[in-house]
A and B are shown apart, each in its own frame.
Chain A
Amino acid sequence: AAGVIQSPRHLIKEKRETATLKCYPIPRHDTVYWYQQGPGQDPQFLISFYEKMQSDKGSIPDRFSAQQFSDYHSELNMSSLELGDSALYFCASSPGLAGGPAKNIQYFGAGTRLSVL
């Protein structure tokens, strides 16, 4: 079965550079979530989109922005990168109301490991 696809898997950037992370949800999933997981920590919610509209916002820095496109893929844009942005970034998707029993189950991609030097 198709899973959530994230690219790139690894990314190395310098301080003050920009980065773009991409997420392709499972087909027919209309909701996308972004999470940040620091070393040894639990994933922290950043932002979510439902039907291409921002649904919820968590502890996402103003330097970060995200959107969901017409084909439901999502991109997380990160600017003025700081050392503290080094983390594993996960995208998850879930089916909407039409998802039946699978509604509200978030399926995660393999993550993008961002290293800021």
Chain B
Amino acid sequence: AQKVTQAQTEISVVEKEDVTLDCVYETRDTTYYLFWYKQPPSGELVFLIRRNSFDEQNEISGRYSWNFQKSTSSFNFTITASQVVDSAVYFCALTGIQGAQKLVFGQGTRLTINP
């Protein structure tokens, strides 16, 4: 069975601080995809990144960066110089690679950036 754990339920920081959201996963699959989605207060789910299990290169996109470590089954997400617009619930998710498979989500981390 697949499982995703986001131990941080809520995080609150002041604008311009760096913040890291943790994600730990469990799967018996040898190949899989990991994702991060953002859910702003308006409610939609916005795709941020997909990482496949055989590519452990870290990725940076502007103020966002992702650290994938297969050895510790973790896929952490860091926002540098946070902004108020980053306030949202962030979900980490996992799916298999073969065919059209469902996303298994973590419980989500509610991030609040205070001005």
Q: How many angstroms from the CA of A54 to the CA of B81 in the assembled complex?
A: 44
Q: Which residues of A in the span 92-110 have a Cβ within 8 Å of any Cβ on B?
A: 92, 94, 96, 104-110
Contact assessment for B95 and A33 in the assembled complex, using a CB-CB cutoff below 8 Å: no
Question: Which of chain B's residues have a CB closer than 8 A to the CB of A106?
Answer: 47, 103
Min CB–CB distance B47 → chain A (angstroms): 6
Contacts A55-B100, A109-B44 known; 8 new A-B pairs at CB < 8 A: A42-B105, A42-B108, A55-B99, A104-B95, A105-B35, A105-B47, A110-B44, A111-B44
Question: In which size bucket is the chain B interface?
Answer: 20 to 34
Q: A interface, how many residues as a size bin? A: 20 to 34
Please list 17 pairs of residues, one from A and one from B, whose beta carbons are closer than 8 Å in the complex, sorted by A's number: A33-B100, A33-B103, A35-B103, A42-B107, A50-B100, A55-B99, A58-B102, A92-B45, A104-B33, A104-B50, A104-B100, A105-B35, A105-B50, A106-B47, A110-B42, A110-B43, A113-B43
Q: Does A43 contact B (CB under 8 A)?
A: yes
Q: Give the nearest-CB partner of A48 in chain B.
A: B100
Q: Mark A69-112, 1 if CB is under 8 A from B, else 0.
A: 00000000000000000001010101010000000111111110
Complex Cα distance A96/B100, Å?
Answer: 8
State in angstroms the CA–CA spacing of A50 and B106 once bound together: 25
